[in-house]
Amino acid sequence: KPTVAIVGRPNVGKSTIFNRIVGERISIVEDVAGVTRDRIYSSADWLSHEFNLIDTGGIDIGDEPFLEQIRAQAEIAIDEADVIVFLVNGREGVTDADEQVAKILYKTKKPVVLAVNKVDNPDMKEMIYDFYALGFGDPYPISGSHGLGLGDLLDKVAESFPETEEEIIEDDVIRFSLIGRPNVGKSSLVNAFLGEDRVIVSEVAGTTRDAIDTSYVHDGQKYKIIDTAGMRKKGKVYENTEKYSVLRALKAIDRSDVVLIVINGEEGIREQDKRIAGYAEEAGKGVLIVVNKWDAVVKDDKTMNKFTTDIRENFLFLDYAPIAFVSAKTKQRVQSLFEKVTKISENHALRIQSSVLNEVVEDAVARNPAPTSKGRRLRIYYATQVAVKPPTFVVFVNEPELMHFSYERFLQNRLRESFGFEGTPIRLITRARS
C-alpha cells in the first residue's frame, strides 16, 4: 500500500483534511481500550486505491524552535511517504513558513501535490494563483470544512502513486514484527531468535542501528522479521519523538501477519502498549503478547497469574491473544515463540468450509435465539467465509439492523470455541440477503 503524507505549517488545516479523507472509521477497539488515540496514521481509500495516510502535523518535535518543527515534519514526509500533499492556507497567501516547507520539499524526487485549503466557495478560486510561486505546479483548491475539491485532489494523488511499489508477498513466509516501547528488549529478542549478534543491541534507548527486514528459516519454516525493532539510526531531530516511533511501528504492523507485542516484565503495561495493541487488532493482525525480562522479575507462584490478569484487564479487546513469558537474556522459552507465531499465522489464514460453518451457526442459534426488536426477530439464513487474514465471515440475515453487538459477540465466541482461532481477530459482517 502506498503512503501519503500531509505536510504544511500549523493551522493550514492538516488534521481536518486528514479526518475528511480517512472518514468515519469508527473503532470499537478504541472505546473498549479506553484510549482516545489522536490519530496521525490511518488507512484510507479513494475509488479503488487503498493507501495509508499520515498527518505529520500530529508529530510534535519536542521543544525545538517553530521552524525546526515544520522542517522536521517535512523531512518525515519525505522519508515515509510515496506521495506528499503540501497543504497551504488560501486565505493567508504564501507565508515565510510555507516557503520553508517548500525548500525542504524541493529536495525530494517524490511527487508533491500542492493543495490550497479554506477555499470554501467557487468564487474564492482566484486565491490559488499566488501559490504557483511555490513551484509545485497546479495548486488544488479544497475546503476541509466544507469537504470541497477533495475528489480532484485525491485523483491527482492516486495518479502519482508509484507503479509497482507493491511488495511481493510470498505465501510460504510468515511475516512478523516485534513492537513495543524502547528498551523492552525487542532487539535482544531478535538476537536470541537468530542465535547470533546480527542485530546490534545497545544499552541506550533507541540507538539500535538502521533496521531492515531479516529473513531466516527455522525448522523448515520461512520467517521474515519485519523492520527489526522498528528503529533506525539516531541523528535526525525527530527520530526520538514518541509519535514518530509509533508511526514506524504502525507501518511495520501493516506489513506483518503476526505482531509480537513486547512488554517489559519489570515495568508492566503502559498506555503506549495499549495504543499499539489496539492498532494491531484494528489492522486485523495476529497477535502474540510477549512479556520479556521475566528473569529479572521477583516472582512467587502467583506472579504469572497476576501478570496475566493485568494483561487481560488492560487489553480487553485482545482476549484471543496468547501470552508468553520469556527472557531474551537467559533465552528461557524464546524458542517456543516460533511455535506460537506459526500457529497464530495458521489461524490467521484459516478457511472454514461453508457446510461446517453453517452447522456451527445453526447450533449457536438453537442454543441462544437471535434477538428481537419491536416485534421482529433476526433471522439468520446462512454464513460464509469471504476472506482470510483475518478470517472474515458474512452472515446473511433478514434485517441487519436487528443484529445486536452482543449477539455478534456471542456468534464470534461460538466460532472461536469451534475452530480455535487463537491469536487472530475474526470479523463478522451482517448483510441482508438479497
Q: Is 202 in the site for ligand GDP (CB under 6 A)?
A: yes
Q: Is 105 in the site for ligand GDP (CB under 6 A)?
A: no
Q: Is 203 in the site for ligand GDP (CB under 6 A)?
A: yes
Q: Is 186 in the site for ligand GDP (CB under 6 A)?
A: yes
Q: Which of 42, 69, 117, 208 binds ligand GDP (CB under 6 A)?
A: 208
Q: Which residue's CB is nearer to ligand GDP, number 207 or number 418?
A: 207
For the chain, state the CA radius of gyration.
24
Q: Report whether 268 belongs to an annotated binding site.
A: no
Q: Report whether 181 belongs to an annotated binding site.
A: yes
Q: Which residue's CB is nearer to ligand GDP, number 143 or number 208?
A: 208
Q: Report whether 10 belongs to an annotated binding site.
A: yes
- 148 has which bridge partners? 143
Q: Which of the ranges 26-34, 97-105, 292-300, 425-433 carries the binding residues for ligand GDP, by CB under 6 A?
A: 292-300
Q: Which of the ranges 176-184, 311-319, 397-405, 412-420 carries the binding residues for ligand GDP, by CB under 6 A?
A: 176-184
Q: Which of the ranges 16-24, 101-109, 141-149, 198-206 carries the binding residues for ligand GDP, by CB under 6 A?
A: 198-206
Q: How far is the CB of 429 from ligand GDP (least distance, A)?
A: 37
Q: How far is the CB of 191 from ligand GDP (least distance, A)?
A: 7
Q: Is 229 in the site for ligand GDP (CB under 6 A)?
A: yes
Q: Is 387 in the site for ligand GDP (CB under 6 A)?
A: no
Q: Which of 292, 345, 347, 430 binds ligand GDP (CB under 6 A)?
A: 292
Q: How far is the CB of 292 from ligand GDP (least distance, A)?
A: 5
Considering only residues 315 through 344, tell me which ones interact with ligand GDP, judged by CB under 6 A: 327-329
Q: Report whether 58 belongs to an annotated binding site.
A: yes
Q: Is 248 in the site for ligand GDP (CB under 6 A)?
A: no
Q: Which residue's CB is nearer to ligand GDP, number 123 or number 203?
A: 203
d(CA 181, CA 290): 13
Residues annotated in a binding site: 8-15, 55-59, 117-120, 180-187, 227-231, 292-295
Q: Which residues bind ligand GDP (CB under 6 A)?
A: 180, 182-188, 201-203, 208, 229, 292-293, 295-296, 327-329
Residues annotated in a binding site for GTP: 8-15, 55-59, 117-120, 180-187, 227-231, 292-295
